[in-house]
Amino acid sequence: MNNLILVRHGQSEWNLENRFTGWVDVGLAAKGKLEACKAGELIKELNLELSYFYTSLQTRSIETLNLILNTMRIKDQNVVNAWELNERHYGALTGLNKDEMKKFYGEEKIHTFRRSWDNPPDPLKKTSPYHPLNINIYKNVPKDKIPDTESLKNTYERVIPFYKKNIEPKLEKNIIVSAHGNSIRSLCKYIFNLDNESISSLEIPTGNPLLIVSEKGKIKNARYLDKDRAKDLLVF
């Protein structure tokens, strides 16, 4: 048996403000820090030996993993920070309030931008301070890999090759991945073999560890550790 634990970062400062965040680097809100500590407590109760640790390059993902490990009293672990696990880039919507954009575009259009498989928002101008080219943490990411906007399909196309190369071969051990709503949706699409229509209905709660138990490459069980905040996985 092996265990893969996927955790969407705790509530961020821009989650709290209901803004499209994407590749903008923001920290955790107070509630998000509490969610991360609760996640650590829930994972600790599993009494697992964790061998590998992955996050995106984004602060909210890194902070979440750090708080989980601190809560579990795990120190001096080698953590892999990968831009491929970053949140989806929301293009020209970045930084804007979601409710205000619903009023401007209409709820159906915003839902399409947020949930559809292959419908990216308009690109973000490269001169914007929110563009990844102008954010210091991405200075070592190849410029031809930095997007101006992304659909979920685009996100999937960078997340899954990284997963196949770096994480999947290590699944004989227990692994934790701290990432984002859309990078985890991408992982779930691949792991659970969800079709393009089903993935639009999948929601990932903040700070609630998703435990995926497998044996010899076959999924035996998948569940959220915090039952009170669990979402439908569509497959179990």
Tokens, residue 49: 């030996």
Phi, psi of 94 (to 5 degrees): -55, 130
How many CB atoms sit inside 10 A of residue 162's CB? 18
Catalytic residue set: 9, 87
What one-letter code names the amino acid at 109? K
**What's the sign of the alpha-carbon dihedral 56, 59, 60, 65?**
positive
- Structural contact between residues 53 and 163, judged by C-beta atoms closer than 8 angstroms: no
Cα 4 to Cα 140: distance, rounded to the nearest angstrom: 28
Q: For 79-111, b where at least 16 C-beta lie within 10 A, e where not — what string?
A: eebbbbbbbbbbbbbbbbeeeebeeeeeeeebe
Cα-to-chain-centroid distance, residue 30: 19
Tokens, residue 206: 């903040």
